Structures are given as C-alpha cells and as structure tokens.
Amino acid sequence: MKTLWAPWRIDYILGPKPDECVFCMTQSSQEDEERLILHRAKYSFVIMNKFPYSYAHLMVTPFRHVQCLTELQEYEAAEMMTWIKECTRILRSAFNPHGVNIGLNIGQAGGAGIKEHLHFHIVPRWTGDHSFMAVMNETMVIPEHLISTYNKLKPLFSTSTI
C-alpha cells in the first residue's frame, strides 16, 4: 500500500474518541470551524467530512438524532433535499467537478460508517480523479488541507440565498 501525507488524520488517531454522537450538535456555533460545519439551517446542517472519500466531501445531516430516512418528518426531509441541491450548486461553482456522487447509507450492512445518525454524502468527482489510486494502490488523494477547503466554501454558504 502506498502512503500519502494526510496531516489532519493525526488528530483523529491520537485524539480522544467521543462517547456521544459526532453528528449531534449543540445550539452554539462557536465550534463550527473546528467541526467543519459550513451551514446551520432550521432542521439540518451542512458539514465537511473530516475523513473524506474525496476532495470537498460534504454531508447534510438532520439535527434530530435519527437512524433511518423513514424517521424524518416531511419538513426535515424537504429542508435536507434543499441543502443537498445547494451543496451541489456550490461545489459545482467552487470546484467545477465533472460529476457529483450523492448517497445515503442506512445501517451497517448498508455501508453506514456512522449508522446511529442519518447523513447524506455529497462528493464532487472529476474524470480521471483518484479512482484508479484507490482501486490499484489502496491510496486516497486529497489535494488540499481541510481547513483551506473549508475557508473556500464557508463564504459561499454564508451568502447563499436559500
């Protein structure tokens, strides 16, 4: 396996593991930059993945702690879809990806890494991006530090008209 430099992972590796759900948020926005929260809506929020599959990997998550799509109220689901669409628009504007993967994994057998709290993934992709690296070399490529990406995206969410 090849090794690439990923300095943000050391905080996770050496840091304390939370006992509480990583997606359950307080009302305070003081930790938003540290937690990579780009936007807080009424029923959901947009957060960057700290351990991304790909560059600029975002997630839309309900504030309410639910495990399954069927547990969402209609107003929660509608707001989340609005922000999934807005994330896609912002990613296309900011990074001009050739495509975008949008997904939801429900339950451990369904591929959910954190099965206790529902979250949608929005992952920009580029033709010829790192797909071959992951398949052939078991290596991920993230071209920019997470905080740099956060600083590029945060103003776009702050000025969103939604």
The stretch 11-16 carries a mean pLDDT of 67
For residue 17, pLDDT beyond 90: no
Residues annotated catalytic, as ranges = 119
Confidence band for 51, pLDDT divided at 50, 70 and 90: confident
For residue 3, pLDDT beyond 60: no
Distance between CA atoms of residues 126 and 5, nearest Å = 21
**Annotated domain spans of the chain:** 34-65+82-138+148-155
pLDDT digits (tens, 9 = 90+) for 88-129: 999 999 999 999 999 999 988 888 878 899 999 999 998 876
The stretch 37-54 carries a mean pLDDT of 91
Q: Round the average pLDDT of the chain to a whole number and report it.
A: 85
pLDDT value of position 162: 87
CATH superfamily of 34-65+82-138+148-155: HIT-like (3.30.428.10)
Distance between CA atoms of residues 78 and 132, nearest Å = 36
Residues 6 or more apart whose Cβ sits within 8 Å of residue 80: 43, 44, 60, 62, 72, 120
Task: State the pTM of this model.
Answer: 0.82
pLDDT value of position 135: 47
Question: What is the Cα 114 distance to its own chain's centre?
Answer: 12
